[in-house]
Amino acid sequence: MRTAAVAAVMGVLASLAAAPSPAAAVTPPLLFGVATTLTAGSLDRIDQIQARVQAPVGIVHWFQSFPQALLADRAKRVVASGRIPLVTWQPGVTGGGVTQPAYTLAKLADGTYDAYLREWGRALATVPGPVWLRFAPEMNGDWLPWSEGVNGNVRGSYVRAWRHVHDVVVAAGARNVLWLWCPNVPYVGTTPMAGMYPGDAYADLVGLDGYNFGTTKSTGWRTYRQVFDRGLAELAVITTRPVVIAEVGSVEQGGSKAAWVTDAFRAMNANSRIRAVVWFDVISAGRDFRIESSASSAQAFTTTLPTLTRLTRATTLSAPVRSGR
């Protein structure tokens, strides 16, 4: 049986199936989330972050790869806590490199994995509330086996794979899923995003991943706007779907992370198209993106997040629901 909180979420989602009025679209709510280390049966880390930043954490983000089964019990616990599970589903073996012949886009589209996709669809359907599913993200780069131009993947194969995966999962009963299409922020050499968009009939939300790597990379220190403005502008041409900053983070090396955090969240709060922001609270490849990488960084979150005028809880977040085809 659905809880009252979950019923409220679903009611709001359904009400947004129709296009919002211009007035309603001016100041939509903003949801803050985190991707962080989780133990098998606990959301303690999420509660700790929420207490530290003194603002609601409405999204819990984690990663799963083929051929893992959906962590359905975790998703149910997230929903029960009044939050939204965001699952990044990666069609390849983690750590397997770019060339993985077993996981080409053609195999995703030709039915090779349909039994596995149906298992996910049935498992997703058991979650008593919305699940955001971020399938095969950062596809416009060249470092993942589901990108075009690598692993035997040809132009146009990403869209075909996405649509097939979507249709099989939905047909298996997963009608509580909001599909999040999420490229990396573009830079010189990335595949143009527009040719990889599956269309509004196949995506409820669109996203971007972007980081300030500071002096840990040759790109040097980059502001939030330098990282995201080009990608946001390109998304605006592709679709009017709401935007999720699905991965964002900054290192300490090369500048003031505290100032970067403050500037980034104020800018995202001012952009009405951005509906959710998910901080990458992880050490990755030796780079410390965590909220508490320093006392000044942590304080920036604590000072800035509670002042955001659009920040809200999961039960008031709204997003479009596609009509059936």
CATH of the domain at 162: 3.20.20.80
Q: What is the DSSP letter of 306?
A: G
User: Residue 8: inside a domain, yes or no?
Assistant: no
Size of the chain in residues: 325
Give pLDDT tens digits for 225-272: 999 999 999 999 999 999 999 999 999 999 999 999 999 999 999 999
Give the whole-angstrom CA distance, residue 108 versus residue 124: 19
pLDDT of residue 40: 78
pTM score, two decimals? 0.91
**Domain of residue 286, residue span:** 29-313
Query: Residue 295 corresponds to which tokens in the numbers above?
Result: 């006392």
Give the whole-angstrom CA distance, residue 98 versus residue 146: 8
User: Residue 320: inside a domain, yes or no?
Assistant: no
User: Residue 293: inside a domain, yes or no?
Assistant: yes
Scored b (16 or more CB within 10 A) or e, 153-173 reads: beeebbbbbbebbbebbbebe
Give the whole-angstrom CA distance, residue 100 versus residue 291: 34
User: Residue 11: inside a domain, yes or no?
Assistant: no
166 SS3 class: helix
What angle is formed at CA 206 by the lines to CA 200 and CA 211, rounded to 5 degrees? Answer: 160
Q: Residue 6 above 90 pLDDT? A: no
User: Residue 305: inside a domain, yes or no?
Assistant: yes
User: Residue 5: inside a domain, yes or no?
Assistant: no
Query: Residue 304 corresponds to which tokens in the numbers above?
Result: 């800035």
Closest CA to 257 of 306, 308, 309, 304: 304
- Report yes or no: 148 and 157 within 8 Å, Cβ to Cβ: yes
User: Residue 10: inside a domain, yes or no?
Assistant: no
Give pLDDT tens digits for 64-122: 999 999 999 999 999 999 999 999 999 999 999 999 999 999 999 999 999 999 999 99
Q: Residue 207 above 90 pLDDT? A: yes
User: Residue 12: inside a domain, yes or no?
Assistant: no
Task: Tell me which of 240 and 26 has the higher pLDDT.
Answer: 240
Give the whole-angstrom CA distance, residue 264 versus residue 281: 15
Count the domains in the chain.
Answer: 1
Query: Residue 205 corresponds to which tokens in the numbers above?
Result: 């939300």
